[in-house]
Amino acid sequence: MTTWFISDLHLALEETRITAGFYDFLLEPQSGDTLYILGDFFNYWVGDDVDDEYADQIKQALKATSDRGVTLFIMHGNRDFLIGQAFCQQSGCTLLNDPTLIQLAGEPCLLLHGDSLCTADIEYQAFRKLARGQAWQDDFLSKPITDRVAYAENARKQSQNYNSIKDDVMMDVTPDAVQSILDAHNCTRMIHGHTHRPSFHNWDRNGQEFERIVLGDWYTHGYYLKIENHTFDMVKFDLPEAHP
């Protein structure tokens, strides 16, 4: 049984090569395998009630993968945290809380999207707290779909401007946030995405070894983490030409 991890695909209709790369990737997990999608699967998601042919095709591809025996889990990212139970039912995915503790390769492993660890970005953390609350979400989901899409498009542009003036340190996880959540879960390994800095980080504290595995974003290439027989492989691959 192989375990697969992906995150930060930022799927969108106009991203034809990323979409084609995702469809190709979905053929790799076999029956009995597990695939974890750790957030920012879509470029944005403004509610399960949006009628969208592109999203329907993605849901069908996930459902077909689930139907052939691959267990699918999805976690919210900062762009698609309004994915709900309807999406999950239609796509055969189970929604995971952020964070979630699993057993992986015989050891506990904490899964997160990663944005909660970027605690130096105080402005973003304040928005995150607000937007993960029921009141904000009820209000947002009560707006017309065209307004919600306009909001999401605008938020994307604003965040691109904002991120370009923030320094690299502020955009990354803080070591304190990483260590304290690992300690809180009595765990020595985590896997997350969000920062778009794929890497294996290893450190030692009083003789105890810790590991933080960061998944890659799909942009110029695709990335997945594959775990088979306790071997962890981060695979970077070329995106195909768009499917016809």
Which residues sit at the interface with Mn ion, rule CB under 5 A?
Answer: 40, 77-78, 194
Residue 183, Cα to own-chain centre: how many angstroms?
Answer: 22
Which residue in 79, 220, 46 sits closest to 163, CA to CA? 79
Give the distance from CA 41 to its chain's centroid. Answer: 6
Nearest residue (CB) to Mn ion, 7 versus 91: 7
Choose between 10 and 189: whose C-beta lies nearer to Mn ion. Answer: 10
In the complex with Mn ion, the residue whose CB is nearer, 27 or 126, is 126
Shortest reach from residue 115's CB to Mn ion, in Å? 5
What tokens were used for 124?
């973003």
The helix/strand/coil state of 137 is helix
Task: Scan for tokens 């974890």, then name that residue.
Answer: 36
Nearest residue to the partner Mn ion, using Cβ: 194
Encoded amino acid at 176, one letter: D
Whole-number minimum distance, CB 76 to Mn ion, in Å? 10
CB 231 to Mn ion: min, Å: 27
Say which DSSP state 242 is in: P
Position 224: which residue type?
A: Y
Nearer to Mn ion, 8 or 33 (CB): 8
